[in-house]
Amino acid sequence: MANKLFLIQDQDILGAIRYHTTGHQLMSLVEKIVFLADYIEPGRNFPVVHLARELSEKDLDQACHYALENSIQFLISKNIMFILIHFCL
């Protein structure tokens, strides 16, 4: 959609837009930066966001792993992960 609406051809940018809230395996540098920027943006206020912000200043890969791990744990705690897995099968 972004490629047609905004005439974006860069696959890194398109991937960053597509996966900015979920991330995915083998993210590019741009995808990691946008994913993490969305996760730690100043308007976010949840228990583990402060550590994600600290990690983002030291190690991008570690910060992304932390964000993904905590997102999965949150979804599991709300029984959303089961629903998503069931829906996708």
**Domain spans, the chain:** 2-88
In tens digits, what is the pLDDT along the chain, a chain of 89 residues?
Answer: 778 888 888 888 898 888 888 888 899 999 999 999 999 999 999 989 999 999 999 999 999 999 999 998 888 888 776 555 545 44
Contacts of 16 (CB under 8 A, 6+ apart): 28, 30, 31, 33, 34, 35
Say which residue the tokens 């993904």 belong to.
Answer: 68
Integer Cα distance of 14 and 54 in angstroms? 27
Q: How far apart are CA 4 and CA 64, in angstroms?
A: 29
**Predicted structure pTM score:** 0.81
Question: What sign does the CA torsion over 4, 7, 9, 11 have?
Answer: negative
Topology (CATH) of 2-88: Hypothetical protein af1432 (1.10.3210)
- pLDDT at res. 45: 94
